[in-house]
Amino acid sequence: MTDAMTESGYDVLTIGNAIVDILARAEDDLIVRLGLSKGMMRLIDAEEADRLYAMIGPAIEASGGSAGNTAAGIASFGGRAAYIGKIAVDQLGTIFRHDITALGVHFPTSPLEGGAPTARSTILITPDGERTMNTYLGACQALTEADIDEPTVAASAITYLEGYLWDPPAAKAAFRKAAAVAHAHGRKVAITLSDSFCVDRWRAEFLELMRSGTVDIVFANESEAKALYQTADVATAVEAMRADVALAVVTLGEEGALAIRGAETRSVPAYPVEKVEDLTGAGDQFAAGFLVGLTRGRTLEEAARLGCLAATEVIGHIGPRPSRSLKALAAETGLPL
């Protein structure tokens, strides 16, 4: 990756659903009253989004979305990040654009005019730090091939895409276009599988993306990896991933993470955390640390350690993005960038 870095304008371009997160603390009984499954993500309509907003207590509003959070983490590590995602011309769209560009992330996507409002996710955080996500997709579903800024893709060492993009057909086409442009310029393409329900919906197509070489790097947590191969055994899933993709990364929560490339497997432990405040964004920040490490020519083990470090930082506070400089934190931990 070092040569690609020298020639590229950006370390990582992330592409995904541009969503404003509305984060609120909630007791377990509220989750039960709402008939929700704790820890899962569900899609809702605008009316349900308004109903939930009226029921929650004080909330924090911040630009989010999985790929947007990863871009923010890359910038916090001192990396050069770019982001593509669709917002609308409205108040939440203004919040999203301000937050991501203020971090120094290049955001070339033009907003949607006259259509659905900017997406939002009402995230209920229970005392154990688990988050239950209620997502109204709105304008982010309007992402199309026309929004793929080819010069930005061509200038990025790695293009990183959300599995959630596989749901709307137009975004799926945009995903394939971005991958084709990246590969045409000698760049790498990564995907995060997003969640186990997303894997259940698109298992065959995700496997095709891996086996065809459309993606070079796959990120999954333990449940997503097992869902991909319909197994209850993570070791079985890991061995299957080894055969199906050039580089696979599996996060294991408090047990750390695995990086698998050919015959090579690297296992790293999680960093200790005083108290888990909010698991939102842990996987997103892990990807940020790992990708920054990869683009800086670090070993798989070092890249995974950077990922675990970023994940530990974000679960120690409310919100899906770093609350302090990850570059400074890496230096303090003996992993300077």
* CATH value at residue 148: 3.40.1190.20
Summarize pLDDT for 253-284 with one digit per residue, the tens. Answer: 999 999 999 999 999 999 999 888 888 889 99
Does 88 reside within a domain?
Answer: yes
Which residue from 305, 82, 300 is spatially nearest to 313, judged by alpha carbons? Answer: 305
Whether residue 224 is predicted with pLDDT greater than 80 in this model: the reply is: yes
Whether residue 5 is predicted with pLDDT greater than 70 in this model: the reply is: no
Tell me which residue range forms the domain holding 244.
2-16+66-108+138-332
The pLDDT value recorded for residue 3 is 40
Does 150 reside within a domain?
Answer: yes
Handedness of CA 10, 11, 17, 20 (dihedral sign): negative
Does 308 reside within a domain?
Answer: yes
Q: Count how many domains the chain has.
A: 1
Does 55 reside within a domain?
Answer: no
Tokens of 337: 């960038």
Tokens of 317: 């506070």
Contact 106, 94 (CB under 8 A): no
Q: Is 43 helix (H, G, I), strand (E, B) or coil?
A: strand
What phi and psi values does residue 335 have, to the nearest 5 degrees? -125, 55
Summarize pLDDT for 26-42 with one digit per residue, the tens. Answer: 999 999 998 888 988 88
Q: Measured between alpha carbons, how far is 162 from 175 in angstroms, rounded to an integer?
A: 9
Does 41 reside within a domain?
Answer: no
Global pTM value: 0.90
Task: Provide the H-helix boundaries in the chain.
Answer: 2-7, 28-33, 46-55, 66-76, 91-102, 150-154, 169-184, 196-211, 222-229, 234-244, 282-295, 300-315, 326-332
Contact 238, 213 (CB under 8 A): no
The pLDDT value recorded for residue 244 is 98
Does 58 reside within a domain?
Answer: no
Does 113 reside within a domain?
Answer: no
Which residue from 162, 171, 160 is spatially nearest to 224, judged by alpha carbons? Answer: 162
Whether residue 1 is predicted with pLDDT greater than 50 in this model: the reply is: no
The pLDDT value recorded for residue 71 is 98
- Rounded to the nearest integer, the mean pLDDT of the chain is 93
Does 122 reside within a domain?
Answer: no
Average of per-residue pLDDT across 179-192: 98
